[in-house]
């Protein structure tokens, strides 16, 4: 299926959000990660069960410390 991840078009056979994040090398155990699909925030507890659909727009944001 065709997806957009952080503004980048990609094709993936992953069926769930968690599988896609892992496929893309995102450390899913890291704290401070927020994920939204089509402008809806998906809390960590739902990543494994959240099915992906062709055309989904996914944004992954990582909080960083600094000043």
Query: Do the Cβ atoms of 50 and 42 come closer than 8 Å?
Result: yes
Residue 17: inside a domain, yes or no? yes
HSE of 63, CA atoms in CB hemisphere, 13 A: 6
Residue 25: which domain range? 2-62
Let me know if residue 67 belongs to a domain. no
Determine the pLDDT at residue 67. 60
Mean pLDDT of 21-29: 95
* End-to-end C-alpha distance for the chain, whole angstroms: 40
| 65, pLDDT greater than 80 | no
Q: What is the pLDDT of residue 36?
A: 98
pTM: 0.90
- pLDDT tens by residue, 2-23: 999 999 999 999 999 999 999 9
10 Å Cβ neighbour count for 33? 16
* Structural domains counted in the chain: 1
CATH code, domain with 39: 3.10.20.30
Q: What rounded mean pLDDT belongs to the chain?
A: 95
């Amino acid at each position: 299926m065709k997806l957009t991840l952080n503004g980048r078009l990609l094709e993936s056979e992953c069926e769930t959000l968690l599988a896609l994040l892992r496929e893309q090398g995102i450390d899913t155990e890291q704290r401070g990660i927020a994920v939204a699909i089509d402008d809806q925030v998906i809390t960590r507890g739902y990543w494994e069960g959240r099915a992906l659909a062709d055309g989904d727009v996914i944004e992954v944001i990582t909080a960083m410390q600094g000043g």
